[in-house]
Amino acid sequence: MSDTQSDARRPVFAAERRQRILELVRANGAVSLRELAQAVRSSEVTVRRDLRALESEGLLNRHHGGATMPGELTREAGYAQKAATAEAEKAAIADLASALVEDGDAIVIGPGTTTQEFARRLTRNTELAVVTNSLLVAQALANAPRTEVVLTGGSLRGSILALVGSAAEQSLAGLRVRRAFISGNGLTAARGLSTPNLQVAGVDRALASAAEEVVVLADHTKIGIDTMVQTVPADRIDHLVTDESAPGDVLDELAGKGVRLHIAQV
């Protein structure tokens, strides 16, 4: 095959690859660089170049760890979509994170499908005091023996089945517990944990402020992703529990800011 013929084929392959990348990002909202590279069977260097080209056309937003659709900074996925994403990884993260809870602890737990899985693992602990704004977390612990569960006040946000607003934040004021276990929609070294919604962010910040240590539970689809409202800066995060598919460069940056990494094997 001549060089001319070879060069003529390359744009076709690149166009097909970029179309596949767009389909993946549209279907999932946010996709990591590693996942995209695996899906299109190309190197991360090639995919990063594709993302730059697609961003220049206004077709997606490129981030350090992957890509999102335009407007994704303010998009909040519903419970059903979140529950169906990275299920095995969330279960492994929940298993590993449960080792950070001891009998007799006082903790706060934020909303999310990963924190719901985490709460299910705590039914074997005793003498726990758990404060949460998540209906899912409260339900998971409803029958836990010798565990006191306290729900914050607030207005119900149906998309995440959690209580938000000033009443929720005020109910956490003055509280002091050992650890806060929270999630979010994105985590980067530059901005830390973030979420698309101002009310959700306000309660997440109040949860973090109530704790001596902050533990973030985030699967690989959230690592390297940035959303609109910062909740907890990276230097305020003490522990990150994630899975083995999380992008290593972002994890290295977080570790450089003092975050202790716990990597769950799936």
66-68/128-132 β-pairing: unpaired
Q: Which residue has the higher pLDDT, 229 or 117?
A: 117
Cα-based distances in Å from 171 to 46, 81, 133, 198, 258: 49, 29, 10, 18, 30
* Structure confidence at residue 1 (pLDDT): 41
Helix (H) or strand (E) holding 155: strand 155-157
List the one residue out of 165, 239, 176, 235 whose CA is nearest residue 207. 176
Band of pLDDT at residue 3, cut at 50, 70 and 90: very low
Task: Provide the CATH topology of domain 79-264.
Answer: Rossmann fold (3.40.50)
The dihedral sign for the CA sequence 111, 113, 115, 121: positive
Give the span between the Cα atoms of 130 and 195, in whole angstroms: 23
- DSSP-based three-state secondary structure for 251: helix
Give the span between the Cα atoms of 182 and 76, in whole angstroms: 16
For the chain, residues classed under CATH 3.40.50.1360 are 79-264
* Structure confidence at residue 227 (pLDDT): 84
Residue 259 DSSP one-character state: P
In CATH, the architecture of 3-70 is Orthogonal Bundle (1.10)
For residue 88, is it left (φ>0), alpha (ψ between -120 and 50) or beta?
Answer: alpha
- pTM of the shown model: 0.74
Band of pLDDT at residue 5, cut at 50, 70 and 90: very low
Does residue 194 contact residue 186 with C-beta atoms inside 8 Å?
A: yes
- pLDDT averaged over the chain? 87
Residue 134 DSSP one-character state: B
Tokens of 17: 């690859």
For the chain, residues classed under CATH 1.10.10.10 are 3-70
Q: What is the pLDDT of residues 115-164, one digit of tens each?
A: 999 999 999 999 999 999 999 999 999 999 889 999 999 999 998 999 99
pLDDT for residue 113 is more than 90: yes
pLDDT for residue 223 is more than 50: yes
Give the span between the Cα atoms of 110 and 116, in whole angstroms: 9
Percent pLDDT > 90 in the chain is 61
